Chain A
Amino acid sequence: MTGIVLTAPDMTRAITRIAHEILERNAGAENLVLLGIPTRGLPLAVRLAAKLAEVEPSFDATGRCGALDITMYRDDLHRHPTRPIGATTLPSAGIDDAIVVLVDDVFHTGRTIRAALDAVKDLGRPRAVQLAVLVDRGHRELPIRADFVGKNLPTSRDERVDVHLAETDGEDAVILTGGAK
């Protein structure tokens, strides 16, 4: 199947469902910290945080949502031109003893999350780290799994999954391209 696999309404529903699942799994929003992985994990984290605050008004959507830049922890830097480093912002209280939920758009090989775990380890000692992704496209290269998934999307290796977000791309859509004809 090629083309749009998730429409804007699909995405909104998925984010809403993930928000509920996070609250259910953690029995509320206490000690929760959302960290979005740039680029698109960040606006997704912001949306998710807003959703959590809708359901659980005690959750501080802006103060408990941050960014985790993983560039300096990647294992493939030498294979690409030099990447610019983005900002890492944490809640003022840090992440010690918090339940950190990493947020990313596409979950693929797992290497990004592995780098994110290394980064989190250097920033503090959370009570737990969980992973929320909008799309899981399979083909894991490391033993890492997601806790919260918007859509499971089986793909072949030569296919491409692009997530578009209004904040970065002007529209909401998940698009699948390529693959054998």
Chain B
Amino acid sequence: MSGAFVIAGAKINGEDVGTIAVRDGVLIDPTDAGTGATRIDADGLVLLPGLVDLHTHLREPGREDAETIESGSRAASRGGWVAVHAMANTNPVADTAGVVEQVWSRGQEIGLVDVFPVGAVTVGLKGERLSEMGAMAQSRARVRLFSDDGICVYDPVIMRRALEYVKTFDGAIVQHAQDLRLTEGSQMHEGDVSAELGLAGWPAVAEESIIARDVLLAGHVGSRVHIQHLSTAGSVDIVRWAKARGIQVTAEATPHHLLFTHEEARTYNPLFKVNPPLRTSEDVEAVREGLADGTIDIVATDHAPHASEDKDCEWAAASFGMLGLETALGVVQQVMVDSGRMTWKDVARVMSHTPARIGRVEASHGRLLTVGEPANLTLVDPASRWTVDPSALASRSHNTPYAGRELPGRAVATFLRGTPTHLDARFEGAFA
């Protein structure tokens, strides 16, 4: 976008009202914008650095019926995201330089968000031998995060080797913490609700024991480990303990684990079936506290699209996972900002600065909103109230647990290096 534009009246990072200007994809001094510059009235809006999601499932290649890189990119830009990290559990699995380059270049081609592919830790996600992480790191996709997400890296020796190996290129192993034996056939959190409903339980210890093992391993070999979708109070405690000992661990929480409890399963509606499962209200409270106090470093969506036949069925037959890209900001505002636990500046930290740093893309993302930086921007309307309509979402799939709910925090404009990738109706025609 070469013509200049000015965004005036927004609260920068939710703090002071200010004006920013963009030319040629870069932030410039507003006084240099020139009189011909397009002017965006952002009164009442909050301007954040472009959001970076560390955990997205784009399903392409292999399950294009559920989502494609294009539909996922569109959903992301509508949700205020400028970069997403696409998980490797595609078909074929992203365990070679070829597949990750394919995903990366498709994302570039579409140009709505920067797609950073995550490479598999083990070949085929089988957990038996390491994938060619070096090749993936050196490819055009420049992979730095590796995960077998969907599946836990269960073998302790494989996990150790992986942690050691990624030090070569400042990578991190991203763990989906789930003891496979303790969760065979599990359907929902193991507790009083599962006892009553007769659904096989998923004990908290299945998550916590793996996290405990992996933070100790990371400390032992001096490597970086990132724990996905923390869901229990115990998990938060373990990460807090590890950080206090200087272990290089980072952690994420999903929006749904900030909001919903296992009580949602009482209706047997598979839209609430997710891995890890929704937990108790004590767990939700601990996750909120952990996010607020920095024990949990970031919010990541774990956007998991599923075709309707995989969700419109018996709970036990349904796939795990929920959509998340378009609703994340609204949920975070509702649970964390409106309640006073966090400020919008904190939101910038957990949804832009820190994820970019963990993903090692901070050269281009999660940067400060100062002159000279790339214009990756998210404009949010905190006063907006919108009802989630599954059929109106950009995702190809419709499995959102927020269907029919009212949320705040709609992203009204998203800019990727100065190009508007999403514009609310109110800005229609602003960029001719």
| A–B proximity contact (CB within 8 A) | no
Contact residues of A with B, CB < 8 Å? none
